[in-house]
Amino acid sequence: MSNSKKYIEEKIINPVSGFLMLAVLLMLIGLGSFGIYYSIAEKSNIILISSIILCSATIFILPGFKIVSPNTALVLTLFGKYYGTINKAGYFYVNPFATSALKTNFGVNRKISLKTMTSNSPKQKVNDLLGNPILVGAVVIWRVVNPTKAVFSVENYNDYLNIQSESTIRNIARLYPYDHFEDEEEIGQCEQTLRGSSQEIADKMRDELQMRVEDAGIIIEDVRITDLSYAEEIAAAMLQRQQATAIIAARKKIVEGAVGMVNAALEQLDKDNVVVLDDERKAAMVSNLLVVLCGNKEAQPVVNSGTIY
């Protein structure tokens, strides 16, 4: 059994101008009204019946008038079969028995918008590559390019897009860690992160979503991540971890600077022969300088009034 999908090929129709048919309709109504008046005056039953039939026939012509606004399309069916699509703005006349393939809950004919629209995907909880629960939301910018597919290929193209958007965001987000940490074994070889490479990951979401909604005649113009954060149950712990990482990095810089300053001070003392220190005094001096330079609080000076030996 073949699993290939069958699509209805889009047929663009160029209907008759509605203004021309409106003029014809008015002429028929005028002719029928004149025939009724004339038949009454001449007492002609044949003309009267013919005029009444002519006026009644104009009622069946009225449903054929269609108005299509700019950037909208009207997909028509005739007795259950695809009739054609009108994708240009104007006032037209089509087969009076042709009806819109897309209707509202109250049976009113509905047109398909071809404008660029946005779909806001709400925050959803996803486990990232490391298994951490995160909250991610995105906005999808899209438009319909094939109204025929949008009507006949899926039940409701808006709902279809929303479901595929949420599924795509979930599938892509779980392939990347939220952020890098010092432990390389923990993040593996993944260089991209949800926080640091949001645009690149959003582009991948757009490409995958485009493949998913191709059947619905929709083109995805852009996907942008709007919300990204740790889930509430681990947000506090992850904040502490980030703070600890920042503190360690800052301390590392402070120690590197302090060691450089101590080394420069010892070299300068030896060079200028200010004072000659043995190894024990140098060790004590290095210890005191590192305490002063690396401490969180200001050091309290102690004045030595005696000899250093």
CATH label of the domain that carries residue 176: 3.30.479.30
Summarize pLDDT for 39-84 with one digit per residue, the tens: 777 676 776 777 777 777 777 888 888 888 898 999 998 888 889 9
- Helix (H, G, I), strand (E, B), or coil: what is residue 74? strand
Q: Does one domain contain both 161 and 219?
A: yes
**Residue 299 falls inside a structural domain:** no
d(CA 133, CA 127): 4
d(CA 266, CA 268): 5
Average pLDDT rounded to a whole number, residues 84-112:
80
- Does the pLDDT of residue 107 top 80, yes or no? no
Summarize pLDDT for 255-265 with one digit per residue, the tens: 777 777 777 77
Structural domain that includes position 150: 117-230
d(CA 309, CA 306): 9
Of the chain, the end-to-end C-alpha distance in Å amounts to: 99
**Residue 6 falls inside a structural domain:** no
Number of domains in the chain: 3
**Residue 9 falls inside a structural domain:** no
Model pTM greater than 0.75?
A: no
Average pLDDT rounded to a whole number, residues 289-293:
66
Q: Who wins on pLDDT, 228 or 165? A: 165
Number of helical H runs and strand E runs in the chain:
8, 10
Q: Does one domain contain both 23 and 55?
A: yes
Q: Does one domain contain both 122 and 226?
A: yes
Q: 138: which strand partners? A: 121, 225
Q: Does one domain contain both 98 and 124?
A: no
- Does the pLDDT of residue 210 top 90, yes or no? yes
What is the percentage of the chain residues whose pLDDT exceeds 90?
11
**Residue 158 falls inside a structural domain:** yes
Domain boundary among 230, 252, 267: 230
**Residue 3 falls inside a structural domain:** no
Q: Does one domain contain both 266 and 243?
A: yes
What is residue 218's predicted lDDT score, i.e. its pLDDT? 92
What is residue 155's predicted lDDT score, i.e. its pLDDT? 84
Beta strand 98-100 with 72-78: parallel, antiparallel or unpaired?
A: antiparallel
Query: Which of the residue ranges 21-25, 29-33, 148-152, 204-208 would you say has the lowest mean pLDDT?
Result: 29-33
Going from the C-alpha of 214 to that of each of 144, 150, 160, 289, the distances in angstroms are 10, 10, 11, 68
Q: Does one domain contain both 253 and 221?
A: no
